[in-house]
Structures are given as C-alpha cells and as structure tokens.
Amino acid sequence: MKKILPLISILLLSACSSQNLRGTGDLGLIIERAIGQVQLVEHTGNTSLATIKGLGDLSHASIVYSRDARYGYVFGRDGGLTKIDVLQQKIVKRVIQSGNSIGGAISQDGKLIAVSNYKPGGVKIFNSDTLELIVNIPAVYADGKQSKTVGLIDAPGQLFVFGLYDASEIWVVDMKNIEKPVITKFKDIGLFPYDGLVTPDGRYYIAGLFGEDGLAMLDLWHLEKGVIRIMDHYGKGKEKLPVYKMPHLEGWAMAGDKMLLPAVGHHEVLVMDKNWKQVKAIAVHGQPIFVMSRPDHRQMWVNFAHPRNDTIQVIDTETLEIIKTLKPGKAVLHMEFSPRGEHVWMSVRDENRVDVIDTETFEVVKSLTADKPSGIFFTNRAHKIGL
Amino acid sequence: MKKILPLISILLLSACSSQNLRGTGDLGLIIERAIGQVQLVEHTGNTSLATIKGLGDLSHASIVYSRDARYGYVFGRDGGLTKIDVLQQKIVKRVIQSGNSIGGAISQDGKLIAVSNYKPGGVKIFNSDTLELIVNIPAVYADGKQSKTVGLIDAPGQLFVFGLYDASEIWVVDMKNIEKPVITKFKDIGLFPYDGLVTPDGRYYIAGLFGEDGLAMLDLWHLEKGVIRIMDHYGKGKEKLPVYKMPHLEGWAMAGDKMLLPAVGHHEVLVMDKNWKQVKAIAVHGQPIFVMSRPDHRQMWVNFAHPRNDTIQVIDTETLEIIKTLKPGKAVLHMEFSPRGEHVWMSVRDENRVDVIDTETFEVVKSLTADKPSGIFFTNRAHKIGL
C-alpha cells in the first residue's frame, strides 16, 4: 500500500490535470456537418484536441458559448439543442426542442438560451444550465398561423430579437423578468425577412428581405421610432438574377464609419456609410456569402457562393481595393479569426480540410483534417454582443 | 484494496475536478495594493474564489492575460513580473526584472510579455511561458542616458509601442522576428510623454504630454506619416491649475465617431470627433481620471481624482448629458465592465470594498470585501488589442 497509493494518486491527478486542467480562452468547435459531430480545437498551437459525436443533423448549425467559455450550445437543423463541455470533451445535455431549427442566441447575462424554429415555428427559451424550457413563444400571426422565425440575436438589456418569415414582422423580447417576458411586435416590416444581424455595439437590428428589395432596420435604443427601410435597392433587383445562396447577414462587417455587405446575386461587395446609404460597390469574384472584418478592421475577408466557392478575396478597408485572392480549395464555407486577428481559420468542406492562414503573409501556417467542415466558432464569442 | 482504491480514485478526481475544472472566461483578478496580493473572482455568480499572496509592491499595478485566459501576468511597481495560474490559484513564476516598472503588454500572438521600466528605464521582453528574457531594449538617448518608458501597449503585427518620458520620443518595436527586433524611433514628439493609449482597433497610438499642451498621435498603419500633434489645447493650459492626478489614458472611450477623454485639471470630460477636434466639453463633478465606455458604448462611466474620488458619474453617449451620479464611497480607483456590459465592478479602496453595479438600474447587486482594492482585470482582456 505505502508505495502503491502515492503512485495511484500521482497517476490519477496527472491524468485529470493533463486532460482537463486548461484555460478555455483559446478553444473552438468546428462543425463536421455530414456526420453529426464537432471537432474541438485550440488556436494557441493550432491543434485538434478531440471529436465529439452524436449531435444529429448539423447542416446549417451554429454555436454560442457560456460566459465562462466552458460550454458550447450547438443548434442543429433537426431541432436538436446540444450542450457540450469543452473541458470534459463530451455532451452534457441534449434535447430535441423542435422539428427544425435555424439557430440561436445566448442572453447578455448568460442564463438563457433562445432557439429559432422553422417547425413548428416560434422561439423557445431555455435555462442555460439545465436546458429546461423557460418560455415558449409561438410566432402566431393572422388567424392563428405560426411563422418560421429567423435572424435571432441577443442584445443588451436581456433582449432577444428575431424576424417572422411568413408574417413580415420583427419581434423584440425583453427577458429581464423571466416570469413576464415583454414582447414588442413590429408589423409590415417587409416581405419574408430571411435573416438578421445586430451591429457589434448591439444597437441596430437589420433584417434582409427575401420577398422585396431593401432592408428593414430597427434602432434598439429607440423602439418608439419603429422599423425603417434602408438601402432601397438592396436585394435581387428587377433583373431577378439567379441567386445561388442568400448571403449571411451575420457576416456584415463594420470598419470605422463604413459597413461592407454582400450584394444579393451580384458579384459585388457593397459599401454603406453611417447614414445607411450605399457609397460604393466593389467588384468581386462571385456572389459573396460572408464579408468578415479582421478584428482590427484593416481587412475584410470574403467567401463566395457555389460554383465560385473555391476562392477567397481580401479587401483593404482604407482603399476598398482587393489586395489578395486566394484559392484554398473546393467549397470554402466559413471563416473565423483568432481573437486578435493574426490568423484566420477557414473550412474547405469538399477537401475535408481546415486551413489556418496568417493574415499578414497570407501563408497557410497549419492544415487540420476535418470531415466536411462548415462553421468554426471560437470561445471568445462568449464575450461578444449579438452573436 | 478492492474497496479502498476506487474510493481514493473518486476522492482524488473529485478533488482536482471541483477545485480546478472550470472555464476561465468569467474570471478576474483584483489588485489588493497595500498588502501585495490579488483576489481571484468570477463574474457569473459575482463571488470571490481565492487570494494569491506574495506579489510585492502593487501600487499602480496592472495585469494582462495569456490567450487561453489561464495565466495572469502582474506588473508590479517594484519591477516584479509575476505569472499567476488562475486555475491552480497560485504563482507559477515570479521575476524581479527591474528596480521600478510601470506596466506591460502581451503580444498579439500571446508569446511575448513586454514590461516598461522607470529604473533603469527601457523595455524588457520576456517569453510568456518561462518568463525568460528574450530582448532587452534600453531606451538610450542623448549621450547615453536611459529614459523612463511609459504608455507601453501592444498592437497588431506583433508590435509594441511606448513613449520615452525623458527623451520626448515614441518607439515602435516590431517583434515578428524575435531574433531581430525592428525599432522605429520618432523624435521630438513633445515634452515628457507620460502615458499612452491605442484606439480599440489598434490603429492610432496617442501619447499625453506632461511638459506641454496637446497630444502626440501616431497612425500605426502609416508610420511614414510620422507623429502629428492633435488637440493643441489639451493639457494643463496656461492657468496651471493644480492637477491632483494625471488622467489615465487607457480610460479613453470611443462611441461611434465620438471619443470622450478626461480633461487635465479641469472638471470636464472632453468630446473629440473623428478628426481629433474637440467638439464639446461636459462639466463633471471633479477632475476625471478614467472615462470608460460600457461595452455597447451607450454609457460612459467616469471616476475622479482626490479629493472628489467618492463619486462616479454616468454620461449618456447620445445626449452627452450626465444621467446618473453615484456615491459609492471613499476613493473609487478603478472600474471594469462585465464583458457584455450588464454589470460594472468598482474598487472603493478606502472602504475595502468592491461593488458590482447593474448598469441599467444602477443598483448594487453585490459587494465583495477586498483589502485596499485598486485595479480590476477580467480575463476577456486576453482577446483584446492594446490593453
């Protein structure tokens, strides 16, 4: 015993230390969409740490993080809401909360997880510890029909904001008192809001419209002003070009007083000033999907829709010119910057690869193997508004 | 054995888990300046977790974090550089690297720690893992004299930037190649630069001048443009009012295209537009020290110099009016916002208290006991530029 016990102690302690005792500030999860799993990575050494299986249908999946950056909440297409412990590298809880969901958000205080649903529609809000349902908000409109909900985001003041695709409405839910959610409804905001974003300061909610041109904008600091229309010509336009994929609004990027956004259908990145007027259109390689700002706002990185999705272009935010065109490979679906911007991670789905690229030299510093990778989500998102 | 071993295993594992297995995204360290220790706190439940002793002279101390948010680097006044493991709640390494230091920074990639020294002057750069000295940069100027260095910050591209107090210079050190640091020196930038800041995007470095009015500004995207002078009337002015404490430049706050900064000596917060021109002066309770933006930029929180340091004022960034005056108690030295801004933590030094205040209701949601608390530093700083 005398000899064995200390030995066992050391083994056990070192075991638990080596596996679990680590900071969570440099971790990330990558969606492996085809096989329902996520890959856990770290961006200090740019390595893969683990694979976590059993998450169901992860097409169009997204992830938010708890405020301690320990738990990732994965929103799956099949209505699955899965809570992952990145330290124990396992699923701690999983619920199928609807038939078909399209993303979610975490409240400012970290205590609430909201999920946006297509079937049956509406938004459900869960306790982030237990995943117990706290509030069900059916998106009911004309004669009792339920709408799909889209573009769900969190905002300061314990708000959740989302669009009602079928009802042409935007709803703002104030969850300060979880016993009595206060819902403010904005009607006739435009046909078929299909996605939304909030500016990085959490102030302006902007919804894209599938049914008409222009954008619906709501100032969350002044709900009394109601929803106004901006960028009247934004959208598919009269020519009705083939749109291979509607752009992701979350990708919109601010740089100083400029905002860059992907045109719909056209091979252009649009530049909007702080008065929400278009001041320029930058010709790019294809139909842009994500236009993402490097954390220091000096560069914007753009990926494109099929069939031109093998290419990435980098725009200089001072000159608004393309300074680099990269060909990472087939189907570059998503990008995520390291928190302070020295690297960008890139999912190259059809080549089962994630590349880590130096944003100054544009060299690939590391390639990781991943199964049909799509979304990449680093834990520093835990501290950001509106993701 | 059969029974004892599993029991031991469980005890050991649960011991190490319960103490160490946690995310690091919601942690913070509070300087307890008089007794050379720091208090470890968490802002999910707003509780104190541990006290870590033996850090030497912590007057005017500051902290940066490793990119995994596990290690805090404490810069003490006595030249001590101390690396703290917030998971094991202990000092892992401590070096006395100079006779008197005034702060430091961590490089964009997290691998380098730079420290700014008064005695003997200059800047030393260390390996963030081992705290081994990598580069010593003596701030030598006219006839071999060494200058105090001030306002040391990190910037994108592995840069460190600092001022030479005695030499009226600003130096930019490019550490992309640690074997060959590239130093760019800017001379005659103004008398006695005493502190500096970089804008949140990491682009503009601004130094305050103790010896004359105005500010020295350097565009880090365009070093070729050199240092220019802005805000000519900023400073003590001709009247030479008594200045109880020079303001902290790190506290400067941006909101949209406005920048709010503490006046020197005067009871005013100044508003600067994006062309660096003063557009307004807001009358406040005393000589402002820190003017800090809530993460969503809707409010600015201001503390004041002795003898008026028992008060906090909150400015609405839209109206530029004071919307709240609080009296937390004697000697409010520092504030830190929770990452998404619902709370602000406040050190009330002479009452040995740290208050956690709701930024919407202005109510105190929690008070923690602390010994002469000063700086409060949350781990989400790990992901920010220029802190």
CB-based contact (8 Å) between A108 and chain B?
yes
Dist CA B91 CA A267 (whole Å): 55
pLDDT tens digits, B292-350: 999 999 999 999 999 999 999 999 999 999 999 999 999 999 999 999 999 999 999 99
Residue of chain B with shortest Cα separation from A22: B70
B90 touches chain A (CB under 8 A): no
Of B171 and A244, more confident: B171
Span A149-160, pLDDT tens digits: 999 999 999 999
pLDDT at B375: 97
* Closest Cα in chain A, distance from residue B355 (Å): 17
pLDDT score at B17: 46
**B108 contact residues in A (CB cutoff 8 A):** 340-342
**A35 SS3 class:** helix
Do residues B30 and A77 lie in contact, with contact meaning Cβ atoms separated by under 8 Å?
no
**8 Å CB contact of A12 and B17:** no
Closest chain B CA to residue A4:
B5
Q: Which of B8, B21, B43 sits opposite A87 (nearest CB)?
A: B21
State mean pLDDT over A80-96: 97
Tokens 């509030």 found at: A135
CB-CB under 8 Å, A295 with B385: yes
Q: Which of A116, A121, A112 is nearest to A104 (CA)?
A: A116
- DSSP class per residue in B267-310: SEEEEE-TTS-EEEEEE-SS-EEEEEE-TTSSEEEEEE-TTSTT
Segment B118-146 shows an average pLDDT of 94
Q: What's the pTM?
A: 0.94
Q: Closest to A67 (Cβ–Cβ): which among B25, B69, B71?
A: B25
- The DSSP element (H or E) to which A7 belongs, if any, is helix A4-20
How many Å apart are CA A382 and CA A244, to the nearest integer? Answer: 32
Give me the residue from B65, B257, B339 closest to A383, CB to CB: B339
Residue A232 touches partner B, C-beta closer than 8 Å: no
Compute the CA torsion angle A68, A71, A77, A81 (nearest 10 deg). Answer: -110
A252 reaches B (C-beta below 8 A): no
Nearest to B325 by CA among B295, B371, B378, B282: B282
Task: Give dist(CA A129, CA A73) in Å, integer.
Answer: 11
Residue in chain A nearest B295 by alpha carbon: A201
Check if A225 contacts B (Cβ < 8 Å): no
Say yes or no to pLDDT of B2 above 60. Answer: no
Q: Do B156 and A274 touch (CB under 8 A)?
A: no
Distance linking the first and last C-alpha atoms of chain B: 54
Strand-pair partners of A219: A204
Beta strand spans in B62-201 (E): 62-65, 71-75, 80-85, 90-96, 100-106, 112-119, 123-127, 133-137, 149-155, 159-164, 169-174, 182-186, 193-198
What burial class does residue A140 get, using C-beta atoms within 10 Å of its C-beta: 0-12 exposed, 13-18 middle, 19+ buried?
middle
Mean per-residue pLDDT, A282-288: 97
Which domains are seen in chain B, by residue range?
Answer: 101-245 (2.130.10.10)
The pLDDT, as a whole number, for residue B188 is 96
Judging contacts by C-beta atoms under 8 Å, the chain B residues touching residue A83 are none
pLDDT at B20: 72
Closest chain B C-alpha to A160 CA, distance in angstroms: 14
Looking at the complex, does the CB of residue A327 fall below 8 Å from at least one CB of chain B?
A: no
- Whether residues B380 and A383 touch (CB distance < 8 A) is answered with yes
For residue B143, the model assigns a pLDDT of: 84
The CA distance from A143 to the nearest CA of chain B, in Å, is 38
Window B:112-141, CB contacts with A under 8 Å: none
Confidence of residue A317 (pLDDT cuts 50, 70, 90): very high
Which run of H or E residues covers position B6?
Answer: helix B4-20
In the three-class reduction of DSSP (H, G, I as helix; E, B as strand; rest coil), residue A104 is classed as strand
B385 in contact with chain A, both atoms CB, cutoff 8 A: yes
